A = this chain, B = another copy of it.
């Protein structure tokens, strides 16, 4: 049985960045730039007033008052510089001629025809052409994750259809004759499907999306019929991943032309995980319990999707172990559900949540970390430095809060 680290190495070796596409600027949010972006022009493109106020020729002797010779409205091209003894009214953002100084409106007294200043005209409250970026300067590198700031930068240089990595097309097949959709009342022995909604929620984002959740019983033929003609970059199969007589995911993936990369990882939860490839298409067979799904999605599937998006995968982070539910030692390396806080110095602390086993769905409430516990060791004590995989919190998933 391979270790988690070995499983990660296999995933890194198999998962290739998807092809690029041009998308509308709004749709680039959360995507990865497939091409670097330079400034096509200076930014600002012209000298602009940084304040509401008055512009006058710089370097002239100071006077008692100046004749008000007009106004530069935002959006107008810059007029010639005012003559000595004259001033122009300006707004924040007004285009300025070369060689002017500015006085803020707060430092001016004006009537209809003249203006007097209580402060010295200042050439530094002009936003100079190119002060934010110079034409030709590298702005955003290939591989940059596009957040709101990057969207604004792209807009400012007119890149309104940036080239980004294509979003991964995921198909999810839920297997098992005991599964009914969560809106139905299960008969005795049946259970509601939680893995469909869980994976759709975990993998809902601009870089990937579960296009279809399909249902089938254990029989390979039925699963093949359900999947017939459906295209995907990543196939996720829930249940049937183990080695029992009704565990048909290995046979299903083989029938679909996939080659097994690994099967079974020395990890808790998620031991029966299966990872397979067919060309650039990847597949995971995920053990059916919900906590196994949660952990496998964060530990392994997110990693494959990061590589497919042309991005580095999430890394484990250090934290202090806080008081929480008692940890149990295990022969396998374990990733324990936990909740992250920050102490008054800014240090992350992780409190383990109560957790029974891979079927304990209640343990998934409020989880925002999986704490790594090495196998065959006594659990760490409170205060010890541990490592954890950070998970996007519900608040962060909501983008704003």
Contacts and interface: CB of A to CB of B under 8 A. Distances in A.
Interface in A1-49: 25-26, 29-31, 43-46, 48
Given A208-B400, A305-B400, A48 B359 contact: yes
Contact of A385 (B92, B346, B361, B399): B346
A156 interface: yes
B147 A93 contact: no
A244 B52 contact: yes
Nearest to A131: B356
B317 A148 contact: no
A356 B189 contact: no
Given A149-B365, A178-B75, A360-B131, A401 B314 contact: yes
A59 interface: no
A111 interface: no
Contacts of A398: 30-31, 145, 205-207, 309
B178 A362 contact: no
Interface stretch (A191-199, A223-231, A274-282, A323-331): A191-199
Copies in the complex: 2
- Of the listed residues A363, A365, A368, the one surrounded by the most CB atoms of chain B closer than 10 A to its CB is A365
Given A194-B156, A319-B346, A189 B401 contact: no
Contacts of A202: 148, 399-400
A152 B401 contact: no
Contacts of A133: 361-362
A36 to B, nearest CB: 12
Interface of A: 25-26, 29-31, 43-46, 48, 50, 52, 73-78, 89, 91-95, 105, 127, 131-133, 139-140, 144-158, 160, 176-179, 182-183, 185-198, 200-208, 242-247, 287-290, 294, 297, 302, 305-306, 309, 311, 313-314, 317-320, 342-349, 356-357, 359-368, 385, 392-401
What are the 3 tightest A-B residue pairs by CB atom distance, in nearest-first order?
Answer: A149-B364, A75-B178, A205-B399
